[in-house]
Structure 1
Amino acid sequence: MGICFSSNRNDGDESDHNAEFVGGNVTLITTKDAWDQKLSEAKREHKIVISNFSAAWCGPCRMIAPYYIELSEKHPSLMFLSVDVDELTEFSTQWDIKATPTFFFLKDGDQFDKLVGANKPELLKKINGIVDSESGRLI
């Protein structure tokens, strides 16, 4: 499992984050207002939110990003967000991000689970568990 520890690193190459970390049904969050809007939308639509706090310079973050995008395409009933910890430093600090990537799982704006590290099997297990429990409620 790969993890990068937080740093105040700034290579001046933050535009890489958009290309590598966003695609499929993943929305890049660049402001606190955008975060609030997406959480309100998720609440209205009764969607679970999965948020990937990552950094452009983090190797494990870059490694899992295509998989995260792939999962977003397979599970349109969930909302997938991506937050660059260097672009939203203060906001990331509020979420107590100590290592990247960190995935938060939220329902109605409240965190109910968390995964630290680029652990593909564990991320898939958590998402499948969510999808299974949500589909069980529809029956």
Structure 2
Amino acid sequence: MGLCLCKPRARDDDSDHHVELASGNVQLITSKESWDQKLAEATRDGRTVIANFSAAWCGPCKTIAPYYSDLSEKYPSLMFLLIDVDELADFSTSWDIKATPTFFFLKNGHQIDKLVGANKPELQKKIDAIVEPISRPQS
């Protein structure tokens, strides 16, 4: 399982460095306001949120980004968000991010699960646990 320990990093002039981590149906969060808006939207629509706290300089984050993007297209009923821990440092600190990537699973604005590290099988397992009850027919 790969992960990068969070550490202060000098900011550079490359403002597009986080874009490579967000593709497919992954939505990039660029402010606390956009976070609040997406959580409100997910709650209104009854969607579970998967929030990926990541960093452009983190090797494991770059490695899992295409997989995360693929998952976002495979599971359109879920909302996939990406938060760059350097771009939103204060916000990330409020979530007690100690390593990247860290994935939070949220339902109705509340944390229901968490995964630290770029562990593809475990990420898939946690998504399956969320999606299966939704797709099971009601008796």
Aligned to 2:57: 57
- 1:96 partner amino acid: D
TM-score (ref. length: structure 2): 0.95
Give the helix-richer structure, 1 or 2. 1
Matched pairs, number:
138
What is the match of residue 17 of structure 1? 18
Aligned twin of 2:126: 126
In terms of mean alpha carbon deviation, does 27-36 or 3-12 score higher? Answer: 3-12
Which whole-Å CA distance do the structure 2 matches of 1:95 and 1:70 have between them?
25
Alignment of 1:1-139 (within 5 A): 1-12=1-12, 13-18=14-19, 20-136=20-136
Letter of the aligned partner of 1:15 in structure 2? D
AA matched with 2:36: D
Percent identity of paired positions between Structure 1 and Structure 2: 64
Stretches of structure 1 that go unaligned for 5 or more consecutive residues are none
TM-score normalised over the length of structure 1 = 0.95
Q: Kindly tell me: are residues 94 and 137 of structure 1, through their superposed partners in 2, closer, same or farther at Cα, counting changes over 3 Å?
A: farther
Alignment RMSD, CA only? 1.2
Using the TM superposition, give the Cα deviation of residue 9 of structure 1 relative to its aligned residue in structure 2, in angstroms: 0.9
SS in 2 for 1:82: strand
